[in-house]
Amino acid sequence: MRVCQYIIFLVLAAGMISGCSGPSGEDYGSSCEYARYFDVPDSATVVTVSPFDGHRDTLRFDVPMDNIICMSSSHVAALSAIDADSLISAVSGIRYLTNRNLRDRFDGMCGRPLYDVGYENSLAYETVLSLDPDMLVTYTVSGAEPQYVAKLRSLGGSVLVLHDHLEEHPLARAEYVKLFGVLTGRTDKAESVFDEVRDSYEALSRNVGTDLPRKKVLLNIPYGDAWYVPGQDNYMSRLISDAGGEVLGSVAGSSRSSVISTEQAYRLSEDADIWLNPGHCRSRAELASVHQLFPSFGPLAKGLPVYNNTLRTTPEGGNDFWESGVMRPDLILSDLVTIFGESDATSESLHYFFPLE
């Protein structure tokens, strides 16, 4: 794909790169402050690191890319943050994206046409190949190469698999903007964007009072039959901790989610100061109707605050918290600091959260 404009080498065999050394053994060093699963050793090289087995892939190119397919909303947000969403030729699931420019392009209202290539194993391969993209950027939730990635590569497609959704620190996920800055020739812009977000986040975190009791947070509702509680090193737990809270039932020293019963959650709720992210619910009455025990849960029974992170959503259920919010953890942190500090914080003063009335 567009091989005449740049040269790409994907080092796919395990062990072809060891540690952080280049082909001739030179030490790459690290250009990342928070991210663990990618590095940019120079302006024409990207190294991605598998969180599953440490396997490294190297991407080298000599011309900035201007035709990119994004399979993740967070990658859309990173390109948008550096004013490069016009370089996106296709996405996966346009109805779940809040990006107004892309939605308008998909509807044929302005600019370069945008296509929806579907999802993973139902990917529209003919559309992907006809667009002749410089790169399809995607993700994986396991150590095994997804079937659609293997097929695209067998058809001559260039695929970059990222693991940003598995980074634990909120600023680590935001730091992937640097990678997209390199790919699109907007390195300075990407560095500037990240520096601003990092400085804002760190300043907010430093200003959280350490002498005040931490807010005890009941998090989530059951998904299917399972109530997931993230470990203390998890992305969401870190945001809550940096804002001055703690997730009830969270396992120390782990980023993995544990599963509790509704009865266990009920017992935890007795200590809760606040309930966050109750699934699809947009009112206290709707939340109370989800389960027969919910009206007796601490925050509902005691009239304590309940906030959801679904202030900015699409009609089809897309949530900007997982789109632009990935690039702006400082705004999410600002929301949480406001919520923990004010019992009556309103949606007008927040970016991604709103109170359930």
Q: How do residues 203-218 score in pLDDT, each as one tens digit?
A: 999 999 777 899 999 9
Kindly state the tokens that stand for 34. Answer: 């928070």
User: At 335, is the secondary structure helix, strand, or coil?
Assistant: helix
* Contact between residue 296 and residue 266 where contact means Cβ atoms under 8 Å apart: yes
Q: Give pLDDT tens digits for 97-108.
A: 999 999 999 999
Kindly state the tokens that stand for 235. Answer: 């992305």
Kindly state the tokens that stand for 186. Answer: 């907007």
From-to residues of CATH 3.40.50.1980 in the chain: 63-165+172-182, 209-355
Q: Give pLDDT tens digits for 131-167.
A: 999 999 999 988 888 999 999 999 999 999 999 999 9
Q: Which of 47, 27, 26 is nearest to 37 (CA)?
A: 47
pLDDT for 343 equals 63
Topology annotation, domain 209-355: Rossmann fold (3.40.50)
- The predicted model scores a pTM of 0.90
More confident residue, 25 or 180: 180
Q: Give pLDDT tens digits for 36-79.
A: 999 998 888 999 999 999 999 999 988 899 999 999 999 999 99
* Contact between residue 186 and residue 156 where contact means Cβ atoms under 8 Å apart: no
Contacts for 226-230: CB closer than 8 Å, 24+ residues apart? 226/259, 227/259, 227/260, 227/261, 227/262, 227/264, 227/265, 228/257, 228/258, 228/259, 229/257, 229/258, 229/259, 229/260, 230/255, 230/256, 230/257
Q: Give pLDDT tens digits for 275-318.
A: 999 999 999 999 999 999 999 999 999 999 999 999 999 999 99
pLDDT for 221 equals 98
Confidence at 30, pLDDT banded by 50, 70, 90: low
Q: Which of 20-24, 132-136, 188-192 has the lowest mean pLDDT?
A: 20-24
Topology annotation, domain 63-165+172-182: Rossmann fold (3.40.50)
pLDDT for 293 equals 97
Burial class (CB in 10 A: 0-12, 13-18, 19+), 93: middle
